[in-house]
Amino acid sequence: MNKLDIPRRMQTSPQQEFERYLCTGEHDELSRSWPGDNFLARAQHGDAALRDALVSAVRQRTAHAVVPAALAGIDVVTVTRTKVEPMVRGLFPAHEQQRVLDVLARSVVFLTPATIDTVLQTTPWLHTVWHLANLYLVSCGAVPLSEDARLIVGLSAETTCFVASDYFNAPSRFDDFVVHEAAHIFHNCKRRTIGLSATPRWEWLLDIDYRKRETFAYACEAYSRVLELGNSLAARRVLLSEIEEGPAPPDDRVDPVEHIDILREAIAARNGWKRILRRCSPAQAQRYREVGAK
């Protein structure tokens, strides 16, 4: 038996837990390998030890990393607000827009040598932290902790969007990881969390079908770039053709044909954001409550 695959019923050593976590992102949720008089004490010891080991491993692999010139002196809040404002204005009624916009504008954290230690030490959930470590390693040109690590460029957790530092060097002009990850906040964040009214049937910022969450995020990402790059309907149709001829979204949860069809409908509409939302809403919620102008 591989020592990294020891059954949970068997107590492992701290060293085995270090190796298992660094290689897979998994850990003993009962914290049986760590000292302490009760579960909480053992969990605190284990959490701190695994995070320290992860930070050390990341530092060793990225000793060469520097803060990208594009991020030097940048006002992240202002940049983020500019990127997400059209999406917020299109999806929420006027009296809610400012509250949502303020949350999203402060949601983005770029993973750089200046931020990565704090991110790995303070972000909830060890499995999420492991994915963030691999995201950062890949963005630095370093070897990830596992061959099975997800090759992602951004990740959302609750109301925080973690984005790779190579954001400004995206391979496609239709890429916008900030908008993509911000779009995920809409289904991760409850309305009451940011002070908006809610009901049992209207709990989250936006009601997005679980199976369509990536479709929604990719559609918002591409549509935001189309609006930025094309100042007329004709220009936007040309851009859509370019997207259609290019590579499909790199996620098997997204149907490429549906993705293009949603964008085509959005571009033709007065408020394309609402069309994207409607196409990605649960069938039974078409729509319980309209959010803003159609």
- Indicate the pTM of the whole model: 0.85
Tell me the helix, strand and coil percentages in the chain, rounded to 5: 55, 5, 35
Q: Tell me, what amino acid is at 94?
A: A
- pLDDT bin (cut points 50, 70, 90) of residue 285 is low
Half-sphere exposure of 275 (CA within 13 A, CB side): 17
| pLDDT for 9 beyond 70 | no
Specify the range with the lowest mean pLDDT, choosing from 39-43, 91-95, 228-232.
39-43
DSSP secondary structure of 57-106:
HHHHHTTT----GGGTT--HHHHHHHHHHHHHHHHS-HHHHHHHHHHHHT
Neighbours of 176 (CB within 10 A): 24
What are the tens digits of pLDDT across the range 42-60? 999 999 999 999 999 999 9
Within 10 angstroms of residue 64's Cβ, the number of other Cβ atoms is: 9
By DSSP bridging, strand 154-157 and strand 108-111 are unpaired
In angstroms, rounded to a whole number, what is the distance separating the alpha carbons of residues 212 and 193?
23
Q: How far is CA 80 from CA 84, 96, 286, in A?
A: 6, 18, 30
CB within 8 A of 254, min separation 6: which ones?
Answer: 214, 215, 218, 248
Q: Which two tokens stand for residue 14?
A: 């701290």
Taking each helix axis from N to C terminus, what angle separates 76-91 and 272-280, rounded to the nearest 10 degrees? 80
- Residue 238's pLDDT band (cuts 50, 70, 90): very high
Burial category of 95 from C-beta neighbours within 10 Å (exposed 0-12, middle 13-18, buried 19 and up): exposed
User: Inter-axis angle of helices 256-268 and 272-280, to 10 degrees?
Assistant: 140
Has residue 294 got a pLDDT over 50?
no
Confidence of residue 286 (pLDDT cuts 50, 70, 90): low
Concatenated DSSP letters of 232-276? SHHHHHHHHHHHHHSPPPS-TTS-HHHHHHHHHHHHHSSSHHHHH
The residue ranking higher by pLDDT, 294 or 41, is 41
- Rounded to the nearest 10°, the torsion over CA 128, 133, 134, 137 is 160
pLDDT tens-digit readout, 131-149: 999 999 999 999 999 988 8
**pLDDT, tens only, 159-208:** 999 999 888 888 899 999 999 999 999 999 999 999 999 998 899 999 99
